Amino acid sequence: MPIALQTRSLTKRFARHIAVDDVSMAVPTQAIYGFLGANGAGKTTTLRLALGLLRADSGWVELFGRRVGRDTLPRVGALIENPSLYPHLTGRENLDITRRLLGLDHGEIDRVLAIVDLASAGRQRVGGYSLGMRQRLAIARALLGRPQLLILDEPTNGLDPEGIVDMRSLIRRLPATDGATLIVSSHHLAEIEQVATHVGLIHHGRLLLEQPLDALLGQQTAVEIATDDLVASAELLDRAGYAVAYDLSGRLLLVTASPDQPTASAPIAALLVGERQVLHHLALRRPTLEHAYHRAIAAA
Ligand code: ATP
């Protein structure tokens, strides 16, 4: 599949702190690429480097097979950090400023407002918009001129549950509507799991994994366990090299690298029983992105 965005050994320091450390990422065209990482992991800095908004200390970025430059940037739309919108202007007037700068037809405003479901609110002042509406207007602005790559940095930050649902459905339909590739950065793993086709995970500035989501989840099995002595069992499993967590119901949850179920569960059961643990529950679960994330971080 052709690559929309490629970085090679991208590195950025702020004073002595390495914010982005030797990151080589590849975002296939038409992907919805979930760019995951905790606060401060280096997501925004990577995206700013990719857009040429920051200069890298070393490494390089290619957009659509070319080094980032004047000819590649018009093909990219971005929403990075808080969007700056004029509250005293209407949604349409805000969009019109960028439309004129880009030399686009008036029809472009109707097109992007329809995509983000703001056609009927376009003549209202932005000062009266909810946060979710403002985020969607900022995405509409990023869509002006039909960019082939759209970069959304934490688009669900601060949204209420309804705003999150709207944003999720917007993200899902964007590639189909505009044929675009999408990069969505987030620390909300469950949100990303619902929309992404590919994921990249950044931790302390380093890209720990990058894979199609199906392949990532298909390589693992989550095993849920309850014993009489969870603390002792957790210690045993931890010493045996398993990444152990407690799930919401207070059971132990392990994620193994075994994709098939007997090889995932049999050694765990044998280990616990062999160490005289009273095992009264063992069940296999489809792993989630959260499991995969914690496993990757634990192995880092
Ligand atoms: P968040 O989700 O909190 O936005 P992030 O993954 O986007 O986090 P970055 O904003 O890229 O993380 O920050 C990575 C690291 O670089 C952090 O430790 C941050 O404090 C530091 N950093 C980012 N920008 C600057 C700057 N302009 N000057 C100094 N340090 C910075």
Q: What is the pTM for the complete model shown?
A: 0.86
Q: What pairing do the DSSP bridges indicate for beta strands 221-227 and 206-212?
A: unpaired
Instruction: Return the biggest CA–CA distance within the chain.
Output: 74
Which atom of ligand 1 is nearest to 42's Cα?
11
Q: Using the mean position of ligand 1's atoms as its centre, give its distance from the Cα of residue 36 in Å.
A: 14
How far, in Å, CA of 35 to CA of 152, rounded? 10
Q: Whose CA is nearest to atom 31 of ligand 1?
A: 14
Which atom of ligand 1 is nearest to 44's Cα?
7
Q: Using the mean position of ligand 1's atoms as its centre, give its distance from the Cα of residue 200 in Å.
A: 17
Question: Number of helices (H) and strands (E), helices first, in the chain?
Answer: 10, 15
Query: What local confidence, expressed as pLDDT, does residue 61 receive?
Result: 93
Mutate to test the pocket of ligand 1, among 7, 43, 80 (most ligand atoms within 8 A of CB): 43
Count of beta carbons in the 10 Å neighbourhood of residue 7: 24
Beta carbons of 53 and 45 less than 8 angstroms apart = no
Query: What local confidence, expressed as pLDDT, does residue 44 receive?
Result: 94
- For the chain, list residues with pLDDT below 70: 72, 259-262
Q: Using the mean position of ligand 1's atoms as its centre, give its distance from the Cα of residue 39 in Å.
A: 8
3-state secondary structure of 129: coil
Q: Whose CA is nearest to atom 1 of ligand 1?
A: 39
Query: What local confidence, expressed as pLDDT, does residue 228 receive?
Result: 92
Around ligand 1, the residues with Cβ closer than 6 Å are: 14, 17, 19, 37, 39-45, 187
Query: DSSP string covering 103-114, please?
Result: T--THHHHHHHH
